[in-house]
Amino acid sequence: MRTQLNDINELVGLKLTGDVARVVKEARDIFNSNYDHSIRDLKSLFPDNHVDSSGNPFWSGPKRAPQPVVFDSSDDTHLDFVWTCANLIFANIGMAALTREEAKNAADALPAASYVAKLIAVETPEEAKEREAAGLPAPKSTANESDDDEPVITSLLAGLSISTQTVTESSLIPADFEKGDDSNYHIDFINACSNLRARNYKITECDRNKTKMIAGKIIPAIATTTAMITGVVTNEIFKYAQGFNDIEKFKNAFVNLALPSIMMSQPDDIIKNKSKEFDPIMCGPVTMIPEGYTNYDKIVLEQGSMTFQQIFDWLREHKAVEITMVTCGDVALYN
């Protein structure tokens, strides 16, 4: 909660001041947090030569050791991130966007961000059990919220209550993702984010067009598939609502919009349970009452309030059935 309130306070503060340099600094801080400082924190826990409890290299096989990326405004990808991130914030607070050159000048004017190592405590379940058995306290970590967060949260809430008197909900503008508008910086920001993360792990980077193509496939795929499934299901509901009870009138649909291919087939009849002289699961005879019932049927035993034992006795006496298990869903009530 503290982190979320800090972020909200920061956004409200940016709106109140309208300070361009502060927005660019926020964008650069986001860069440092995601691609530089957090990677250094991880490497402090698991350096390149770290070995696991079995003596094997921790960073091996598909698990690549990441490397921090230090901000350099002369690097196009670095500058693209700060420029587009700042412009997304400007769009949120209703300010005019910066040009790439203006963003570079503002970033160059900022002092270098210093790295402050976090104290991150990591313990395995076995180590936690040994610590608890010894009666020792949990290890401290500056990465998590502490027990003293309550006064900080109270202060942040008090500051927000004052700020909301001048910053209204309508003055902050949410950004809806739109891949088709090249002027909104959405694809440029996503491209910079993905390439910086790829650079952390020495993965091949891609150009803006490939990023746009990948991002463009996701939204239409969700919308078209959902619409298609909704259509075929609703068509079957119409049949049911009109009173059809012949299974041959209903259809299963197999749809692949990428080919495109749409196939309709007659659904199987519902499974009817039948008595068995020997059931391999129950290791004995199984009696169905009534014979041929389905999972959609139920039996009402109108004998008043009865205990399990009374129900078992009644079924043994009147139906010649011995009960060995009573379940409700996946839960065994009696076994």
**pTM of the complete model:** 0.59
Give the DSSP letter of residue 278: E
Least confident of 4-13, 95-104, 275-284: 4-13
pLDDT (mean) for 295-304: 88
What are the start-end ranges of the H helices in 94-148?
Answer: 100-109, 125-133
- pLDDT tens figures, 310-335: 999 999 999 888 888 898 888 889 99
204, two tokens = 């091949």
Predicted pLDDT at 39: 94
CB within 8 Å of 10: residues ≥ 6 apart: 26
Domains and CATH numbers, the chain: 2-113+145-206 (1.10.10.2660), 219-265 (no CATH), 276-334 (no CATH)
- pLDDT tens figures, 32-64: 999 999 999 999 888 999 888 788 898 988 889
- pLDDT tens figures, 167-219: 777 788 898 888 888 899 999 999 999 999 999 999 999 999 999 988 877 66
Task: Single out the residue of 198, 22, 42 nearest to residue 98, CA to CA.
Answer: 22
157 pLDDT more than 80:
no
CB within 8 Å of 13: residues ≥ 6 apart: 22, 163
> Higher pLDDT residue, 118 or 89?
89
Predicted pLDDT at 129: 78
- What are the distances in angstroms from CA 39 to CA 43, 62, 193, 265? 6, 18, 15, 53
SS3 276: strand
Q: Cβ(24)–Cβ(106) under 8 Å?
A: yes
